[in-house]
Structure 1
Amino acid sequence: MSAIQTVDSLDYAFPPKPKPLSDQQRADYRARIKELLQQNNAVLVAHYYTDPEIQALAEETGGCVADSLEMARFGRDHEADTLIVAGVRFMGETAKILTPNKTVLMPTLKAECSLDLGCPPEDFSAFCDQHPDRTVVVYANTSAAVKARADWVVTSSMALELVEDLDSKGEKILWGPDRHLGNYIQKQTGADMVMWQGACVVHDEFKSQALLDLKKVHPEAAVLVHPESPESIIAMADAVGSTSQLIKASQELPNETFIVATDRGIFYKMQQLQPNKTFLEAPTAGEGATCRSCAHCPWMAMNGLVAIAEALEHGGEQHEIHVEPELAKQAMVPLDKMLAFSANLKK
């Protein structure tokens, strides 16, 4: 297995946190956003990792809370003329590629993703050129330009099945950008894979010794792990999967307590569906270490009420997602393949 060195995720400068609002300010902004959504024939789609307040607002206004694939599908199929995507930039780009006829707004275009930042299109394309005999499979957490360079785009909910299918056909894989997810898939499938060495700033911080210590305090707890986590964390999991798969596991497993190794924004949906169960954050610091993300994506935190209201009121270059048509056309090819493969999986 070969690799290429990329920027260490710890080098990324995190954005400032939004200023806290009073209860009255939050109520006023929620009311204003609801008015603006109706006035603009707009719908709010929010990722599971956004703050609970934003997820609740999306549900209250007829939008959706979902993983990146379902967000894109929902936006494509909804009758609204305008989509406001509460997530990170690549999610807005994907929504625009799938629905070029709609206006796609984001609370801020500065909401990045460390996997996207750590996979510059020019460098990744050069890496692909070094391995011309390999099928290029990229995670959805990438820019439109990286998607356009790929043969396949996948989400964590269907990556394992896709690579397994390609491997069964004798195809060798070039995987990017998350090394932990790629390593997990390689071990599960035995596929011939070379990896781009990216990582998520949230999942990369989970600590195995601290998780062992927490498990001793809660021996009855099941451990739920997103496969963007390090191998030592995955090894302790009772269930490994995407955001939607972990939510499903929290409903189906008999345990009353869960230790969850993914962004803590997911707790909103887990607790909503299982209000009598207890959910604990997997540790992101231990043995004297301190965390930077502390189990919550700093860029997801930028999707606040003030930013959503400003996007709906003003739109424009500060908030609107644009994808160059030819680039969108190229990126649509592997995205279409992903959607078709996912639909067949459901069947």
Structure 2
Amino acid sequence: MSAIQTVDNLDYAFPPKPKPLTDEQKAEYKARIKQLLQDKNAVLVAHYYTDPEIQALAEETGGCVADSLEMARFGRDHDAKTLIVAGVRFMGETAKILTPEKTVLMPTLKAECSLDLGCPPDKFAEFCDQYPDRTVVVYANTSAAVKARADWVVTSSMALELVEHLDSQGEKIVWGPDRHLGGYIQKQTGADMVMWQGACVVHDEFKAKALRDMKKLHPEAAILVHPESPQNIVDMADAVGSTSQLIKASQSLPNDTFIVATDRGIFYKMQQLQPNKTFLEAPTAGNGATCRSCAHCPWMAMNGLVAIAEALEHGGEQHEIHVDPQLAKEAMIPLDRMLAFKK
């Protein structure tokens, strides 16, 4: 069975990139941020897709660089009273849901996610209501309100295993919001799934013909693909997986060169762990295609040094994450199920 739901005519207005800083300015802001983290009893957690200098700063100051779930869990378990989340807004919400007693700040609350924007809670609830006999499984890249409507929340690292488990129990599934990840899971498991038709603006742009052409130029390269990518890209992969799984693949595979179909922010960690290997961006343009995000999330790029310093100095409505307590309580139910399943 198949069914789809699309939010019509979504055309995302990408934010401007942060103004470039000189090396001297960068050094000044890094020093200020390090002092503010101490003064505010705060810790910086950064996603793999943020810019390399932000990931490095998180590591230098005792924070962490990870995927969205590990960011939230690190913040929950850390002694700091304030978390500053360098990522996109749903990541800040997840951190707040897991640690309601802490202050959760973001460099900017305008850092969005196309999967979140493309899955409005009211429309998704209406879609789910059409299938009352199905289990609702949503990707972590969603708002607190969408999570609250779900039975399960999943990350890309455990979505396949969870759906396989539910399918073995005879459960039929409503999946949202990423159509490519959902299609990949359905193909792997054979599960009965109806799909919300969302997509990531970064992964949706990878081009199969251009990737084949690149592979011809680098026949020795292994292709690493995030399953938010189109099926014809996934079909060419030597390894398919979440950010953390792709990082592990870059360590375990014998190849010296990798073509990577995910956000290029991940190269920081890959190169850190494998400095003698070569990592190439999978192509996002060619044959008349127009690259918009060019393998880097424009909202992730908003997490600059200036914005981090401002968040720590001023906090307030422009930076602090708030989640309605009742909504957080409802969203925590499927999040708890996910955490228990991963154990």
User: Same fold per TM (> 0.5)?
Assistant: yes
- What is aligned with 1:48? 48
Aligned residue runs from structure 1 range 128-277, under 5 A: 128-277=128-277
Tell me if 1:14 matches 2:14: yes
* Matched position secondary structure for 1:131: coil
After superposition, what is the alpha-carbon deviation per residue over 1:115-172, rounded to whole angstroms, capped at 9, x for unaligned?
0000000000000000101000000000000000000000000000000000000000
Q: 1:7 Cα deviation (Å)? A: 3.6
- What is aligned with 1:64? 64
With the length of structure 2 as denominator, give the TM-score of the two structures.
0.99
Say what the alpha-carbon RMSD is for the aligned residues.
0.6
Structure 1 distance, partners of 2:282, 2:267, is: 12
With the length of structure 1 as denominator, give the TM-score of the two structures.
0.98
Q: 1:289 Cα deviation (Å)? A: 1.6
- What is aligned with 1:5? 6
* Matched position secondary structure for 1:286: coil
Structure 2 distance, partners of 1:55, 1:309, is: 15
Structure 2 distance, partners of 1:158, 1:8, is: 31
Q: Alpha carbons of 1:266 and 1:327: their partners in 2 closer, same or farther (altered >3 Å)? A: same
* Matched position secondary structure for 1:213: helix
* Matched position secondary structure for 2:283: coil
Tell me if 1:330 matches 2:330: yes
- What is aligned with 2:317? 317
After superposition, what is the alpha-carbon deviation per residue over 1:40-96, rounded to whole angstroms, capped at 9, x for unaligned?
000000000000000000000000000011001100000000000000000000000
- What is aligned with 1:304? 304
Kindly provide the amino acid, as one letter, of the partner of residue 7 in structure 2.
T
Q: 1:20 Cα deviation (Å)? A: 0.3
Structure 2 distance, partners of 1:266, 1:303, is: 15
* Matched position secondary structure for 2:260: strand
Q: How many residues align?
A: 342
Q: 1:221 Cα deviation (Å)? A: 0.2
Structure 1 distance, partners of 2:205, 2:128, is: 28
Structure 1 distance, partners of 2:104, 2:128, is: 30
Identity %: 86
- What is aligned with 2:34? 34
* Matched position secondary structure for 1:309: helix
Structure 2 distance, partners of 1:228, 1:289, is: 19
Kindly indicate whether the alpha-carbon contact (under 8 Å) linking 1:43 and 1:61 is maintained by their aligned counterparts in 2: yes
- What is aligned with 1:123? 123
Q: 1:286 Cα deviation (Å)? A: 1.0
* Matched position secondary structure for 2:174: strand
Structure 1 residues without counterparts, runs of 5 or longer: none
Structure 2 residues without counterparts, runs of 5 or longer: none
Structure 1 distance, partners of 2:247, 2:117, is: 27
Structure 1 distance, partners of 2:94, 2:9, is: 25
After superposition, what is the alpha-carbon deviation per residue over 1:224-243, rounded to whole angstroms, capped at 9, x for unaligned?
00000000000000000000
Q: 1:8 Cα deviation (Å)? A: 4.9
Kindly provide the amino acid, as one letter, of the partner of residue 328 in structure 2.
A
Q: 1:288 Cα deviation (Å)? A: 2.4
The 4+ residue runs of structure 1 with deviation greater than 2 A are none
Q: 1:324 Cα deviation (Å)? A: 0.4
- What is aligned with 2:25? 25
* Matched position secondary structure for 1:233: helix
* Matched position secondary structure for 1:292: coil
Structure 2 distance, partners of 1:5, 1:124, is: 10
Structure 2 distance, partners of 1:264, 1:8, is: 27
Aligned residue runs from structure 1 range 58-137, under 5 A: 58-137=58-137
Kindly provide the amino acid, as one letter, of the partner of residue 324 in structure 1.
D
Structure 2 distance, partners of 1:22, 1:219, is: 39
Structure 2 distance, partners of 1:51, 1:94, is: 21
Kindly indicate whether the alpha-carbon contact (under 8 Å) linking 1:7 and 1:118 is maintained by their aligned counterparts in 2: no
Structure 2 distance, partners of 1:288, 1:188, is: 32
Tell me if 1:291 matches 2:295: no
After superposition, what is the alpha-carbon deviation per residue over 1:177-206, rounded to whole angstroms, capped at 9, x for unaligned?
000000000000000000000000000000
Structure 1 distance, partners of 2:140, 2:168, is: 22
Kindly provide the amino acid, as one letter, of the partner of residue 93 in structure 1.
E
Structure 1 distance, partners of 2:73, 2:342, is: 11
